[in-house]
Amino acid sequence: EAQVTQNPRYLITVTGKKLTVTCSQNMNHEYMSWYRQDPGLGLRQIYYSMNVEVTDKGDVPEGYKVSRKEKRNFPLILESPSPNQTSLYFCASSLWGPQGYEQYFGPGTRLTVT
Amino acid sequence: DQQVKQNSPSLSVQEGRISILNCDYTNSMFDYFLWYKKYPAEGPTFLISISSIKDKNEDGRFTVFLNKSAKHLSLHIVPSQPGDSAVYFCAASASEGAGSYQLTFGKGTKLSVIP
C-alpha cells in the first residue's frame, strides 16, 4: 500500500530535549516536505527536499533541521524544542515538485513541548 | 505577509445545495493551485488542481475556477453531501522557473454540510 508514515504519532517532551520525528514514504517520490498546522494559521511549510541531499527552507524553518540521506526518509529534527513548537506536524511526499503533482500526506504527529 | 488567503474560516451549506469556497492570492509568480481536504485526525488529501493556463477544471462534483486577473480562485461542490464536511485548504506554487519548489497554503475553510 502506497503511504507516508510518521513516527511517533504523539509526543510530549520538555523544553530543550532534542527530538526527531521520522517520515518515510514507499512511493519512490522525489519531493518530500514538512508542515506544521496551528489553529488560525493553517498549514505552513517548514522545509522541503527535491531529492537526496537537496533541502530548502519553507516559510517557518527556524528551530528545525532536516536531512535527506535516503530517498525514502526525511526526518525532522528539533535540536532544542521550545513551547512555541507545540503543534501538529505533517510530512508529505510527491513524485516531483508541487507544480503539477499532488502531495500525499502522512497521518500527522502531535507534539507538545512543556 | 499572507500570500494565500481564505477569508472565510467557516461555511455552512444545506445538503444538496452548492458549496463555494474562495481563495485569493497576492504573489503574481504563483501559477499552479491545488485544493486539499482535511478530516479531523487525518492528513490532508488532494482534491483538485488547476494550472494558470486554464480557467476551469472539473472532477465529478468538484470544479475549480481561476480568475488570474483578480488573483482569485474558487472551489464549487455540487451537490454538497454530508461527507464533504471537512476543512478545505487552498494552496499555491510558483513555476519551476522561479527556482522555488515551495508550496504555500491558506488558513483553511471549515465546511459543514447540514443534512
Q: Is the pLDDT of residue A39 over 70?
A: yes
Q: Is B34 an interface residue toward A (CB < 8 Å)?
A: yes
pLDDT attached to residue A14: 96
Q: Is B111 an interface residue toward A (CB < 8 Å)?
A: no
* Residue range B95-115, pLDDT digits in tens: 766 667 888 999 999 999 999
Query: Is A43 in contact with B108 (Cβ distance < 8 A)?
Result: yes
Q: Is the pLDDT of residue A94 over 80?
A: yes
Q: Is B45 an interface residue toward A (CB < 8 Å)?
A: yes
Q: What is the DSSP string of A68-89?
A: -SSTTB--EEESS--GGG-EEE
pLDDT attached to residue A101: 81
Q: Is the pLDDT of residue A91 over 90?
A: yes
Q: Tell me which residue has cell 481563495.
A: B23
- Give the best residue of B25, B90, B103 to mutate against chain A (max A CB count within 10 A): B103
Query: Is B43 in contact with A90 (Cβ distance < 8 A)?
Result: yes
Interface size A-B, in CB pairs within 8 Å, comes to 73
Nearest chain B CA: its distance from A51 CA (Å): 12
From B31, B43, B51, residue closest to A108, measured CB to CB: B43
Q: Report, as an integer, the average pLDDT of A106-111.
A: 97
pLDDT attached to residue A1: 84
Q: Report, as an integer, the average pLDDT of B68-88.
A: 97
Q: Report, as an integer, the average pLDDT of B9-22.
A: 97
CB A73, CB A24: distance < 8 Å = yes
Residue type, A43: L
Half-sphere exposure at residue A66, Cβ-oriented, CA atoms within 13 angstroms: 29
Task: List CB contacts of B91: < 8 A, sequence separation 6 or more.
Answer: A43, A98, B4, B33, B34, B35, B36, B103, B104, B105, B106
Q: Report, as an integer, the average pLDDT of B16-23.
A: 98
State the Cα–Cα distance between residues B78 and B66, nearest whole angstrom: 17
Longest CA span, chain A: 40
Nearest chain B CA: its distance from A40 CA (Å): 6
Query: Is A103 in contact with B51 (Cβ distance < 8 A)?
Result: no
Q: Report, as an integer, the average pLDDT of B57-76.
A: 97
- Dihedral (Cα; A8, A12, A13, A18), 10-degree rounding: 20
Average pLDDT, chain B: 93
pLDDT attached to residue B37: 97
Q: Report, as an integer, the average pLDDT of B47-52.
A: 94
pLDDT attached to residue B98: 63
Cα dist. A92→A26, A27, A99, B59 in Å?
A: 12, 11, 15, 23
Q: How many CB atoms lie within 10 A of CB B67?
A: 11
